[in-house]
Chain A
Amino acid sequence: MNHWIIAPVILPAMLAPLIGFVMRHDISLARAASLAGSLALAVIATGLLILAADGETHVYKLGDWEAPYGIVLVLDRLSALMVFLTALLALVVAVHAVATGWDSRGRHFHALFQFQLMGICGAFLTGDVFNLFVFFEVLLIASYGLMIHSGGKERLQAGLQYVVMNLAGSTLFLFALGTLYATTGTLNIAHLAVRMAEIPVEDAALVRVAMMLLMIVFAVKAALFPVQFWLPGTYANAPAPVAALFAIMTKVGAYSILRVHTLAFGPEIGATEDLAGAWLFPAAIVTIAVGAFGVLGSKRLMPLIAFSVVGSMGTLMIAISAFTPEATTAALYYVVHSTFAAAALFLIADLVISRRDTDALVALPPTVQNGLFAALFFAAAIAMAGMPPLSGFLGKLFVLDVIRTPGQIGWAWSAILIGSLFTIVGFARAGSVLFWKATSVPQSDPAEGEAMPTPPVPARAMELAPVFATIVVLGLLAVLAGPVTVYFERTSAQLFDRAGYVGAVLGSDLEG
């Protein structure tokens, strides 16, 4: 049993109260601790990625209780990849929050940030659905605090809506778990897989209800139609670094669907096979449409980016809803890409908006570094819209390539391609209004007697570094697409090896 497996949960869990209680009056101390913690998390996550690369399913038994009686954490290639992704994103976002001073506009930013990381890493590592619920709540309660960080009327109202939405979602989660436990008598994912295979199709009505409830809860997190409506309001009103961190939160929902459905309800399990895919696919198509129209219709920059996130989740869910190893490989590539593309957009938007005082898409006189910001926004936008040379193009190509079912191919191709076109138009319009038309607006002279307004401060290297880092990651993802895809292929092969997972978690005696 390798104790490093639990480190991504323990480290932020210990650090967060320390920052919250001991360093509450000293922002520079809290910053140092939070950055060091994020860096340490990234190092640990890299180590776990190397550990998991051998293809073995590593199981961590909490309190050394045998599964399924105790709770287990499971580290396989997929969990390691997601934890690594979280750690990398967290580091970028933490640097941005410190450099731009977002963290000092309210209290307890870094403590909440670490709690959020604890919840996300825990959700990726756990092998028990009730434990997954608990980690969901940990990441949610931290996200409530982060969402309303630094306050303001609109942000608090949007935050209230977000909290209510997620509390209703949590209740639904518990109903699903209760039904699942009543019908199968277990909540361990590996044990569920064994029990589900034994349930005859004619007795499966209740367990099908439980599965669909569970999928709805995960769909809420993944912002899938018809439960996507909380996302634009939340992301558009959250502080920008928080919105960038939330880019991984939708992936928690997508990961949960992938993990729980593939192992416990997926292929070769007669009772629930094909049920989720049949619903997820049309929902994903509509989600792309919602995202595309939202991007076209947005009058402000932050909702525009938020809607493009909705659209990218739709594309991702098309790949996931196929539930085949090939489609999952494409989905994993798209997960990594869309996380960093969304983060890059939110971070560059923050740099621009903070120098314009408004995120409305109207032409204002250019601010400092107009050309630099325009270039960065352009790079992030082509990544999100799926144009070459960055990874968005390859990601969408992979997804298009794996959708081969005759009834689906027409819908999927039309939705993704037309959706991409709309996204390109939306971003092109936003970019030209923000950066290009701005150069033709005359600088307004201050009226007599008024003081000259202080010009915006140019962005320092520290503020620009996180944006550059995300775009470099997107570029690397495109350049190294070959080796990365090989790793993702192995990851999805391991995910679909149900017997291997069950054997590793339950041991040979319960293997079935």
Chain B
Amino acid sequence: MEFVVATTLAALTAGGTYLILRMRAFPVIVGLALLSYAVNVFIFASGRLIVNRPPILDKYGEGIYTDPLPQALVLTAIVISFGMTAVLVMVALGAYLESGDDRIDLNGPEAGADAAGGDAAK
């Protein structure tokens, strides 16, 4: 169980980081989405991995229960990351339509004229 969750997290984080470093709008958006999935699972796991137990105490406060707080935290995190991704898509779309280019890194107004040239590859 722990192994599966840990490797999933690692794969999601590595993929997300790689995609963000591509510095193009679409891979960056997908990369940030992957990272936010990873962090959601991570927060969920921060209350320890307990299977098939309710997040509430039973009548006498006995027995095993799973920590309810990370579930509340992760709900907040999901809502926020969803909203942020939507904003990011809109901004990226706006920037692409304005400039005809989906690069994330800036090259400054001085170099603006030769932006389409060779430094796009870096």
Interface positions of A from 70 to 103, Cβ below 8 Å from B = none
A163 on interface, CB distance cutoff 8 Å: yes
* B-side interface size class: 35 or more
Whether A160 contacts B73 by the Cβ 8 Å rule is no
Interface positions of B from 50 to 104, Cβ below 8 Å from A = 69-70, 73, 76-77, 80-81, 83-85, 87-88, 91-92, 94-95, 98-99, 101, 103-104
Interchain nearest-CB distance for A15 vs B (Å): 21
User: With A130-B73, A151-B98, A170-B84 in contact, do A178 and B32 touch (Cβ < 8 Å)?
Assistant: no
Whether B91 contacts A159 by the Cβ 8 Å rule is yes
Number of interface residues of A (CB under 8 A): 33
Can you list, as one digit per residue, whether each of A147-186 has a CB less than 8 Å from chain B (1) or not (0)? 0100111101111110110011011001101110110000
Residues of A within 8 A of B73 (CB): 130, 177, 181, 187
Residues of B within 8 A of A156 (CB): 91, 94-95, 98-99
Interchain nearest-CB distance for A6 vs B (Å): 19
A286 on interface, CB distance cutoff 8 Å: no
Whether B46 contacts A178 by the Cβ 8 Å rule is yes
User: With A141-B87, A181-B46 in contact, do A151 and B94 touch (Cβ < 8 Å)?
Assistant: yes
Whether A164 contacts B104 by the Cβ 8 Å rule is yes
Q: Chain A interface secondary structure, helix, strand, loop or mixed?
A: helix
Inter-chain CA distance A155–B76, complex, in Å, is 30
Inter-chain CA distance A116–B20, complex, in Å, is 27
Inter-chain CA distance A141–B47, complex, in Å, is 28
Residues of A within 8 A of B83 (CB): 141
B105 on interface, CB distance cutoff 8 Å: yes
Whether A181 contacts B106 by the Cβ 8 Å rule is no
Residues of A within 8 A of B95 (CB): 153, 156-157, 159-160
Inter-chain CA distance A137–B77, complex, in Å, is 10
Interchain nearest-CB distance for B110 vs A (Å): 7
Interchain nearest-CB distance for B80 vs A (Å): 5
A233 on interface, CB distance cutoff 8 Å: yes
Interchain nearest-CB distance for B5 vs A (Å): 12
Inter-chain CA distance A322–B101, complex, in Å, is 45
User: With A156-B99, A163-B91, A164-B28 in contact, do A174 and B39 touch (Cβ < 8 Å)?
Assistant: yes
A417 on interface, CB distance cutoff 8 Å: no
Whether B87 contacts A130 by the Cβ 8 Å rule is no
User: With A154-B109, A168-B20 in contact, do A134 and B87 touch (Cβ < 8 Å)?
Assistant: no
Whether A157 contacts B106 by the Cβ 8 Å rule is yes
Chain B, Cβ-Cβ closest to A131: B76
Residues of A within 8 A of B46 (CB): 178-179, 181-182
A293 on interface, CB distance cutoff 8 Å: no
Residues of B within 8 A of A436 (CB): none
**Pick the contact of B99 from A157, A178, A299 — CB < 8 Å?**
A157
A498 on interface, CB distance cutoff 8 Å: no
Inter-chain CA distance A233–B106, complex, in Å, is 8
Residues of A within 8 A of B91 (CB): 144, 148, 156, 159-160, 163
Residues of A within 8 A of B94 (CB): 148, 151, 156
Residues of A within 8 A of B103 (CB): 157
Inter-chain CA distance A286–B13, complex, in Å, is 29
Residues of B within 8 A of A158 (CB): 106
Can you list, as one digit per residue, whether each of A353-379 has a CB less than 8 Å from chain B (1) or not (0)? 000000000000000000000000000
**Which 3 pairs, one residue from A and one from B, show the smallest C-beta to C-beta distance?**
A182-B46, A156-B95, A178-B46
Residues of A within 8 A of B (CB): 130, 134, 137, 141, 144, 148, 151-154, 156-161, 163-164, 167-168, 170-171, 174-175, 177-179, 181-182, 187, 233, 299-300
Residues of B within 8 A of A (CB): 20, 25, 28, 32, 35-36, 38-40, 42-43, 45-48, 69-70, 73, 76-77, 80-81, 83-85, 87-88, 91-92, 94-95, 98-99, 101, 103-106, 109-110, 112
Taking A157-B95, A175-B39 as known contacts, 16 extra A-B pairs with beta carbons closer than 8 A to each other, sorted by chain A number, are A134-B80, A151-B98, A153-B99, A157-B103, A158-B106, A161-B105, A163-B91, A164-B88, A171-B32, A171-B38, A174-B42, A178-B46, A181-B46, A181-B47, A182-B47, A300-B109
27 residue pairs A–B, Cβ–Cβ below 8 Å: A130-B73, A130-B76, A137-B80, A137-B84, A141-B84, A144-B87, A151-B94, A151-B98, A152-B98, A153-B95, A156-B94, A157-B95, A157-B98, A157-B99, A158-B106, A159-B95, A160-B104, A161-B105, A163-B84, A164-B88, A170-B81, A174-B43, A181-B43, A181-B73, A182-B45, A182-B46, A299-B110
